[in-house]
């Protein structure tokens, strides 16, 4: 059952009782499509299906497989993402005119668990840096795991209050995206908890919190930059009224977005904001609202880095750089944090250093590994990097049984097939991790927190 207040809001918003009835039926009885987004930086097999119109990497699957048992999922070959959520990538690409400028800086303000952040990182590639911020620490750790699995190396995971970005990196970003915490009406058919917790008071509470986040996020955006706002809810208070408030408080400019009618996305305009509603009875996906504007004002040169608050990086010995540089394709800057060696895209090093000097960074670049004397222990992040040179390691193709042993952190049964010492493990050609053979046994290097129990 749905709250009478919720039904009333839908009637006021949609205007057509038949339309409301169809939406409520879809929320109550509609099928829940399964969709994934293929990682374009890892050209290996992934589940196939029909295309998601607004995302060139999106696929609908005919049925939901066991992702937990799929090696390509664990290797970052694809991300399980709700199809409607992929639309923000379309907004970003359209706003950039189809070509990503060199050095673009993108802030994903409310990023966990990482679906939109990994999509943004695929779009900007090594031409730009993505900052994925999540203020709640345990959610930020999950975000870091998903960024690690995606393996592009252009993303910095932070855990800071939005106000820190407003004060420390004012007008520093070219794109700011806010996937705002909301009342979750678009998730009603997936979550009984979302239905149970919904109330008008919660809608008002969410709207007030969203304004605070949006105001801080806006301060971090440079004049001429693009602002993308999204929620997974339907009501006007958290959506259209938020855009009315934004355009009334700040200097906003319109951004043209192509949205073909056959996509069945409800499309309108509020002040200068292009607004889009995904309704489950119209589109194959869950509920979503998305909007986009451009920040007005005089467009000048990019704001310089603020004065450093700290310097977390240490130099890496040249001999060590020579040892680890051959493990990755491309041009990388190597630095140490404590005993751990990290690799950062050279073109993005200045921005990553600035972020690390200002913010609470949980993960960035590629965590290469640690040196114990002359012995090198690779990190799982290295195995999952899209830039890994597979030929730099002794590699071993796993069987299905061996894959599941590895994912459970058990010893591999076919020890004789492994080379003594370090081995890179592959599943259908795609790296999934490292193991070390020590005589008749193996020592799996999969992190304990990544272990599965099936």
Catalytic choice (232, 247, 252, 405): 232
In the DSSP assignment, the letter for residue 54 is T
Give strand ranges (E) for 4-85. Answer: 34-38, 50-52, 55-61, 78-80
Q: Is residue 166 one of the residues assigned to a domain?
A: yes
What the block records as the tokens of 334 is 């190597």
Q: What is the CATH number of the domain that holds 269?
A: 3.40.50.150
Are both 124 and 269 inside the same structural domain? yes
Residues 423/437, Cβ–Cβ less than 8 Å: yes
Domain match, 289 and 407 both: no
Q: Does a structural domain hold residue 122?
A: yes
**CB-based contact 56:266 (threshold 8 Å):** no
CA 168 to centroid of chain Cα atoms: 23
Q: Which residues contact 139 (CB under 8 A, 6 or more apart)?
A: 112, 113
Unique residue bearing structure tokens 């994903």: 108
Other CB atoms within 10 A of residue 401 CB: 11
**In which domain, by residue range, is 446 found?**
393-454
Residue that terminates a domain, selected from 238, 265, 295: 295
Residues 279 and 417 in one domain: no
Domain annotation covers residue 209: yes
Q: Indicate which CATH number applies to the domain containing 418.
A: 3.10.450.720
One domain for residues 257 and 400: no
Per DSSP, what are the bridge partners of residue 454?
Answer: none
C-alpha–C-alpha distance, residues 91 and 343, integer Å: 30
How would you write the pLDDT of the chain (454 residues) with one tens digit per residue? Answer: 788 999 999 999 999 999 999 999 999 988 889 999 999 999 766 677 899 999 999 999 999 999 999 999 999 999 999 999 999 999 999 999 988 999 999 999 999 999 999 999 999 998 999 999 999 999 999 999 999 999 999 999 999 999 999 999 999 999 999 999 999 999 898 888 888 889 999 999 999 999 999 999 999 999 999 999 999 999 999 999 999 999 999 999 999 999 999 999 999 999 999 999 999 999 999 999 999 999 999 887 666 667 777 789 999 999 899 989 999 999 999 999 998 999 999 999 999 999 999 999 999 999 999 988 778 899 999 999 999 999 999 999 999 999 999 999 999 998 989 999 999 999 999 999 999 999 999 999 999 999 999 8
Among the three residues 295, 311, 340, which one is the final residue of a domain in this structure? Answer: 295
- The Cα–Cα gap between 161 and 76 comes to 28
Do the domain assignments include residue 336? Answer: no
> Quick check: is 383 in a domain?
no
The verdict on whether 232 is a catalytic residue reads yes
Structure tokens at 270: 């509020």
Domain for residue 320, yes or no? no
φ/ψ of residue 100, rounded to 5: -75, 125
Number of separate domains in the chain:
2
Shared domain check, 94 and 205 = yes
Torsion sign, CA atoms 192, 197, 203, 208: negative
- Per-position b or e across 332-352, b if 16+ CB within 10 A of its CB: bbbbbeeeebbbbbebbbebb
- Distance, in Å, from the CA atom of 39 to the CA atom of 53, rounded to the nearest integer, reads 17
End position of a domain, from candidates 260, 279, 295: 295
Pick the closest to residue 438 from 412, 407, 403 (CA basis).
412
Residue 342: inside a domain, yes or no?
A: no
Judge contact between 71 and 423, C-beta under 8 A.
no
Is 224 inside a domain boundary? yes
């Amino acid at each position: 059952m749905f709250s009478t207040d919720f039904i009333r809001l839908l009637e006021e918003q949609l205007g057509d009782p038949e339309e409301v009835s169809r939406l409520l039926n879809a929320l109550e009885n509609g099928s829940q499509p399964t969709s994934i987004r293929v990682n374009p930086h890892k050209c290996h097999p992934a589940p196939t299906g029909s295309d998601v119109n607004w995302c060139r990497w999106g696929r609908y699957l005919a049925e939901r497989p066991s992702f937990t048992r799929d090696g390509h999922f664990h290797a970052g070959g694809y991300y399980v993402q709700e199809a409607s959520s992929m639309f923000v990538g379309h907004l970003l690409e359209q706003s950039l005119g189809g070509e990503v400028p060199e050095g673009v800086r993108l802030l994903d303000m409310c990023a966990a668990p990482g679906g939109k952040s990994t999509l943004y990182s695929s779009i900007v590639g090594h031409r730009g840096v993505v900052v994925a911020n999540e203020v709640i620490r345990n959610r930020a750790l999950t975000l870091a795991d998903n960024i690690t699995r995606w393996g592009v190396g252009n993303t910095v995971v932070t855990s800071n209050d939005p106000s820190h970005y407003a004060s420390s990196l004012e007008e520093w970003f070219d794109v700011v995206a806010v996937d705002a915490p909301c009342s979750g009406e678009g998730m009603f058919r997936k979550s009984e908890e979302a239905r149970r917790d919904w109330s008008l008071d919660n809608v008002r509470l969410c709207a007030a919190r969203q304004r605070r986040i949006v105001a801080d996020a806006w301060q971090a955006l440079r004049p001429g930059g693009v602002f993308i706002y999204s929620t997974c809810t339907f009501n006007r208070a958290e959506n259209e009224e938020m855009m009315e408030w934004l355009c009334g408080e700040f200097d906003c400019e319109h951004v043209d977005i192509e949205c073909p009618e056959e996509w069945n996305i409800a499309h309108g305009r509020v002040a200068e904001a292009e607004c889009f509603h995904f309704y489950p009875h119209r589109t194959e996906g869950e509920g979503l609202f998305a909007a986009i504007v451009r920040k007005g004002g005089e467009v000048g040169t990019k704001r310089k880095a603020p004065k450093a608050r700290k310097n977390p990086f240490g130099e890496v010995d040249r001999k060590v750089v020579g040892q680890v540089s051959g493990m990755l394709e491309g041009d990388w800057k190597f630095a140490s944090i404590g005993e751990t060696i990290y690799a950062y895209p050279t073109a993005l090093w200045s921005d990553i250093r600035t972020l690390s000097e200002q913010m609470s960074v949980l993960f960035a670049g590629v965590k290469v590994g640690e040196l114990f004397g002359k012995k090198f222990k690779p990190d799982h992040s290295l195995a999952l990097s899209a830039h890994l040179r597979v030929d730099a390691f002794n590699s071993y193709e796993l069987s299905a049984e061996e894959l599941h042993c590895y994912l459970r952190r058990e010893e591999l049964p076919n020890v004789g097939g492994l080379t003594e010492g370090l081995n890179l493990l592959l599943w259908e050609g795609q790296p999934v991790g490292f193991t070390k053979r020590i005589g008749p046994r193996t020592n799996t290097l999969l992190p304990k927190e990544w272990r599965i129990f099936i």
